A = this chain, B = another copy of it.
Amino acid sequence: MSVQKPSIPQGTRDFGPAVVARRNYIFGVIRRVFEKFGYAPLETPTLENLSVLTGKYGDEGDQLLFKVLNSGNFLKKQKGEVIKEEVTPADLLAGPRAVLPKVAEKGLRYDLTVPFARYVVMNRGTLVFPFKRYQIQPVWRADRPQRGRYREFYQCDADVVGTASLLCEAEIVLMMSEVLTKLGLTEHTIKINHRRVLGAFYQALGGEGTEVDLFTAIDKLDKIGREGVKKELAERGFSAEAIDKLFDLLNVAGSFEEKLERLLAAFVTAGVEPDTAGADGYKGLQDLQQVLSYLRGFGFEQWANLEFDVTLARGLSYYTGCIFEIKINNVNMGSVSGGGRYDNLTGAFGLPGVSGVGFSFGVDRLYDCLEELNLFPEAVNSTSRCLLANFDAESEVAVLPVLARLRAEGLAAELYPESGKLGRQFKYADGKGIPYVLLQGPEERAAGRFKLKTMATGQEQTLTLEEVLAVIRA
């Protein structure tokens, strides 16, 4: 074996003990809230067949899929493998599109939604519907790495499929609110909108341009501002009059309920049609009203954190009903969560007409927010409560029962594995963030006592074992 300087791939990360503990804290909060609302955990394989993944994320997404080489002699047909043909020099000249299907059949999970849809379709005969599942797993994207964007990152999704009930939307608001509150991120805004409200906007403008152009432009409001959006819409064939109308609608002000009333009036004035598939603005307003009623029924109180944001569009995704997004107000960062209702998640796998609604937390962003606001509880770590110093061979043997006792009490504890050099042992405790060091030299042993050093203060106390336990437990 030749000696090499090791490295990890671009856009990937090692998580050391302190970071793992903090990430697990976030996962734990999210998991407990999901489970309290009746969502059950699902885990799907890292490797999915490319036939499942390809074509689900648009052309750009297909490019960003990590593809895994077939094992063995991936260039040639072989027994038991599904490779149909050998790679030929002609394929090579034709490029990756010709070679790829012959050398790679599997890819890495790109999100948690497509595997979820696949799972539902494969298990539709045995699943109990409505099926409520949450899923906390990493995904991989061959994106160009940059600050805050990784090639391997975790998603935390919760979805329910098989019901159109707006109770689910209301509970999503409750779950979002509870997770953020539990994490101490009290300065947040949960934004809600409805795709049909946006559809009605399009109708209200008089059918100019295309709906996709309109949504795309609105989606950019945050980035390019009002003037930018106006310019873009004008370039895409919307008249000045239509653009003015649009901004009248986007400017609707007031409380959640007042906005609902004002938009209703505006839709009537503009002649927005009811019963239009996917664009019935009245149905959109009714849905939002119903979500509001459910929240009242639940005794929801964080109204200041909930905003009916008519400019929320959630990109060109597959949403068809309510849509959600969370911003942390006191941190300069994109949304930490988003989601919405979709009508045809499983259609691509041959199971049409399954309505569902779901949302996802971005753990990396939540982590950065908690760190920036100094919100990680001090107790969040995975380190021992106490290090037993290893004075000499005799004391080493003498403290073994003490170590056993600490652990029997459920306290994480360790004995420094080599005797001598107390300075190095204190440095070890310090480096690992162990709050207490317990010493028993010959003198203390003779007296049946221990010296306990509190690392944060440097304070040393001479105590009985029971007194030590009381301090360490606290």
Chain A residues with CB under 8 Å of chain B are 1, 3-9, 12-17, 20-21, 24, 35-38, 40-49, 51-52, 55-56, 63-64, 66-69, 71-75, 80, 87-89, 92, 95-96, 99-100, 103-106, 108, 118-119, 121-123, 128-130, 132-133, 138, 140, 142, 144, 151-152, 160, 163, 165, 167-168, 293-294, 297-299, 347-350, 382-384, 387, 396-397, 400-401, 403-404, 407, 410-415, 417-418, 427-428, 431-432
- Distance (Å) between the CB of A16 and the closest chain B CB? 6
Q: Which residue in chain B gives the minimum CB-CB distance to A142?
A: B71
Given contacts A12-B45, A72-B63, contact A35 B417 (CB under 8 A): no
10 smallest CB-CB distances across A and B, nearest first, come from A38-B414, A128-B431, A17-B40, A297-B400, A165-B417, A71-B142, A12-B45, A89-B89, A20-B41, A15-B43
* List of B residues within 8 angstroms of A106 by Cβ: 9
* A403-B17 in contact (CB<8A): no
* List of B residues within 8 angstroms of A49 by Cβ: 6-9
* List of B residues within 8 angstroms of A1 by Cβ: 55-56, 347-348
Query: For the complex, what is the distance from the CA of A431 to the CA of B24, rounded to whole Å?
Result: 30
Query: For the complex, what is the distance from the CA of A460 to the CA of B53, rounded to whole Å?
Result: 48
* A9-B403 in contact (CB<8A): no
Given contacts A36-B412, A297-B400, contact A432 B128 (CB under 8 A): yes
* List of B residues within 8 angstroms of A100 by Cβ: 69
* List of B residues within 8 angstroms of A80 by Cβ: 144
* B69-A42 in contact (CB<8A): no
- Distance (Å) between the CB of A277 and the closest chain B CB? 19
* B382-A35 in contact (CB<8A): yes
* B128-A400 in contact (CB<8A): no
Given contacts A38-B414, A104-B69, A350-B3, contact A298 B382 (CB under 8 A): no
* List of B residues within 8 angstroms of A129 by Cβ: 428
* List of B residues within 8 angstroms of A297 by Cβ: 397, 400-401
* A417-B298 in contact (CB<8A): no
* B415-A167 in contact (CB<8A): yes
* A3-B167 in contact (CB<8A): no
Partner of A46, one of B123, B152, B427: B152
* A37-B163 in contact (CB<8A): no
* List of B residues within 8 angstroms of A17 by Cβ: 40-42, 133
- Distance (Å) between the CB of A224 and the closest chain B CB? 28
Query: For the complex, what is the distance from the CA of A63 to the CA of B427, rounded to whole Å?
Result: 44
Query: For the complex, what is the distance from the CA of A16 to the CA of B49, rounded to whole Å?
Result: 19
A-B contact pairs, 26 of them (CB 8 A): A3-B348, A3-B349, A5-B350, A8-B44, A9-B48, A9-B49, A9-B106, A14-B42, A21-B40, A21-B41, A35-B412, A36-B411, A36-B413, A37-B407, A37-B414, A38-B412, A38-B414, A45-B152, A46-B46, A66-B68, A73-B96, A88-B92, A163-B417, A167-B415, A298-B400, A299-B401
Query: For the complex, what is the distance from the CA of A122 to the CA of B6, rounded to whole Å?
Result: 7
* List of B residues within 8 angstroms of A130 by Cβ: 417, 428
* B95-A41 in contact (CB<8A): no
Q: Which residue in chain B gives the minimum CB-CB distance to A120?
A: B6
* B4-A47 in contact (CB<8A): no
* List of B residues within 8 angstroms of A64 by Cβ: 71
Query: For the complex, what is the distance from the CA of A43 to the CA of B350, rounded to whole Å?
Result: 38
Query: For the complex, what is the distance from the CA of A105 to the CA of B88, rounded to whole Å?
Result: 22
Q: Which residue in chain B gives the minimum CB-CB distance to A137?
A: B138
Query: For the complex, what is the distance from the CA of A163 to the CA of B5, rounded to whole Å?
Result: 23
* List of B residues within 8 angstroms of A92 by Cβ: 75, 87-89, 92
Most B-side CB within 10 Å, residue of A87, A413, A414: A414
* List of B residues within 8 angstroms of A95 by Cβ: 73, 75
Given contacts A73-B95, A96-B74, A163-B418, contact A41 B68 (CB under 8 A): no
* A68-B71 in contact (CB<8A): no
Query: For the complex, what is the distance from the CA of A92 to the CA of B91, rounded to whole Å?
Result: 10
* A151-B67 in contact (CB<8A): no
